[in-house]
A and B are shown apart, each in its own frame.
Chain A
Amino acid sequence: LAKTTQPISMDSYEGQEVNITCSHNNIATNDYITWYQQFPSQGPRFIIQGYKTKVTNEVASLFIPADRKSSTLSLPRVSLSDTAVYYCLVARETGANNLFFGTGTRLTVIP
């Protein structure tokens, strides 16, 4: 399964839009890009999933270019409560035992 590469950490001021880019060069045709969020002392929580182009929900947007070798998670107008670790994963329908959580991106929102 394709591994992902994402920045180790990012800082942002409150109210700004934050974009976290993830690289997945070896993504396969039947792979999906999935993002999870983990607050301190909590388990990860699903944010968004997409296959191509753009997906938007009440929490975030996910942009996937045509070649699908990267993706960008966009968080609009972040607040202090968005401080968390964000994991980019490549998911395949063949088995949940193939989910790989890397070290993620630690986002710190500054007042």
Chain B
Amino acid sequence: NAGVTQTPKFQVLKTGQSMTLQCAQDMNHEYMSWYRQDPGMGLRLIHYSVGAGITDQGEVPNGYNVSRSTTEDFPLRLLSAAPSQTSVYFCASSYGGSSTDTQYFGPGTRLTVL
């Protein structure tokens, strides 16, 4: 199993541009989520999904959209990039939707918005 994969690894955007961060998992996990990590801070939840067709907002959802058309994929869309969205983005998945379930994280995407 590849686990949780994310693409791209690095990305530089200009303010106002849009892009999609890709996340895929091959473990047949129902729960998937997106976090951002800023320097010196912990991870903050952006959006999550408890299954195909179901998404919900986390702690910091503004400026981001998600969709979950398949169990495997959970892309994160930046609608109009802003410098405040410069961060490292991690996708995670787990078998169930409980926080006691082990979360499997991807390698991250480092995004810089100029």
Residues of A within 8 A of B (CB): 32, 34, 36, 41-46, 49, 87, 89, 91-104
Give the residue name and chain of the A residue nearest to B97 (CB): A96
User: In the assembled complex, which residues on chain B have CB atoms less than 8 Å from the CB atom of A104?
Assistant: 42
- B98 close to A94 (CB less than 8 A): yes
- B100 close to A43 (CB less than 8 A): no
User: In the assembled complex, which residues on chain A have CB atoms less than 8 Å from the CB atom of B40?
Assistant: 103
Known: A43-B90, A44-B43, A104-B42. A99 touches B107 (CB 8 A): no
- For B43, B48, B102, B108, the residue with the greatest tally of chain A CB atoms inside 10 Å of its CB is B43
Of the residues A32, A42, A101, contact of B43 by C-beta under 8 Å: A101
B109 to chain A, nearest CB (A): 10
Q: How far is the CA of A94 from the CA of B99 in the complex (A)?
A: 7
Q: How far is the CA of A11 from the CA of B90 in the complex (A)?
A: 27
- B98 close to A95 (CB less than 8 A): yes
